[in-house]
Amino acid sequence: MSNDTFICDNIGVNDQGHLTFAGRDTSELAAEFKTPVYLMDEGRIRHNCRVYTQAFKEHFGGESRPLYASKANSFKYIYKIMKEEGMGIDVVSSGEILCAYKAGYDLSKAYFHSNNKTDEDISFAMELGIGYFVVDGFEELYAIEKEAARREIKQNILLRITPGIDPHTYAQVNTGTVDSKFGTAIETGQADEIIQEALAQPHINLIGYHCHVGSQVFAEDVFERAAVVMIKYTAHIYRDYDYMAQQLNMGGGFGVRYVDTDPYLDVSKKIADLAEAINATCEREKIPVPTIIMEPGRSIVADAGMTLYTVGSVKRIPYYKNYVSVDGGMTDNPRYALYGSKYTCYTANKMNEERGMNCNVVGRCCESGDIIQRDVLLPKETERGDIIAVCTTGAYNYSMASHYNKIPNPPIVMITADGSAKEVVRRQTYEDLIALDVD
């Protein structure tokens, strides 16, 4: 199998017929670190960051910048990379805030999302010096004003505005329509109201607007359409209320390739197209171009990840279905159960053997929905002890992992620039699982 058949160029096959990832033999990594194991390619993460930072410098300039969307994969080492690569970050919980803080990240460059921040979240974020709150509604606005007044500070915020854009992606990750749980809609007139309220608060500094249309977006003009709506709306607010937004955060959501039928998305080209749409609309509306922010998450870490499993059994039901069961499952990757998400899977130690067995790759949980992927072609000789590799698992696998059936989470093993591999998140133990139980 040649490298040009793979969905990402950090995957290959070596002379032993073993799958490689970031130049390392996955069978050797499975033997060294045991399975299940999340692999991460540090070089790929840094490459993806630089695609964004260079495109922003070229097409937007000034203070415009990309932020890493922490919810895609949050652990201390990732924030060290983001700091070194000059990336901002967004965070969605006190846990992500603490993780970034403990990693030494400067939280004045961080944006705090979430549609339901508690009073404790708001206080904790201010205590650690969060740069910006992305405010989702009136109650949160008033809660931030109250806490900022108590601290005698003026807190920077952006307002999350719903532009009414349908990105035609999974319904579960579509966030840009009027009836989304996120943000305040333009169409209903409520966006105008919350902007006026924000401007009236003495301890709040309204910096600008945020919008986000959804995830895994490939459609040609989704971001451009959202940008036109938001720039026109910015101009409307300037004309009617004499407020000019300094920042416009376009959110994240660029799609990545999970299977070979997914299109290739040229991020640099998409950012250039977005800049063209924003600049042209600002010129027509006769307003200055705001500082542009975006929040890539999946497109930074997804193809920098791979998960390795060991086969426990191969169940062949003549004339029906074959099942390859592995030592992980929906506990370490719930995305198929949630969204029916597609993945590319291989028998990593038998890459030169013909893939002639159609099967479902399934997990170890007592749950019929515990499926990694349906209708996968693997070698007929796949058997107990073989290594199954699932590609493009760097986003929303570790971050969405659970302890269903009291199964510990796998470790994260980072393959560094010099080709060495090290645990950056250790494997959970059974003792970890019961450590919080009270006798």
- List the catalytic residues: 366
- Cβ(164)–Cβ(185) below 8 Å: yes
What is the pairing mode between strands 387-391 and 345-347?
Answer: antiparallel
What ranges make up the beta strands (E) of 113-269?
132-135, 155-162, 184-185, 204-210, 247-249
CB-side neighbour CA atoms (13 Å) of 48: 29
Ordered DSSP codes for 354-393: ---EEEEEE-SSS-TT-EEEEEEEE-TT--TT-EEEEES-
Task: Pull the structure tokens for residue 234.
Answer: 């910015």
Q: How many CB atoms lie within 10 A of CB 113?
A: 26
Nearest CA to 112 out of 103, 122, 120, 104 is that of 122
Residue 422: CB atoms within 10 A of its CB come to: 12
**Burial of residue 435, with CB atoms counted within 10 A of its CB: 0-12 exposed, 13-18 middle, 19 or more buried:** exposed
Cα 361 → chain centroid: 24
What tokens were used for 307? Answer: 């998960």
Query: How far, in Å, CA of 41 to CA of 395, rounded?
Result: 12
Alpha helices in 289-343 (DSSP H): 298-301, 335-339
- What single string gives the DSSP state of each residue in 410-427? PPEEEE-TTS-EEEEEPP
Please say whether the beta carbons of 279 and 230 come within 8 A: no
What span, in angstroms and rounded, lies between the C-alpha atoms of 271 and 57?
Answer: 11
Contact 137, 159 (CB under 8 A): no
- CB of 295 closer than 8 Å to CB of 66: yes
Cα gap 139→158, rounded to integer Å:
15
User: Which of 107, 39, 36 is CA-nearest to residue 70?
Assistant: 107
Cα separation, 48 vs 66, whole angstroms: 11
Which two three-digit tokens encode residue 183? Answer: 């943000």
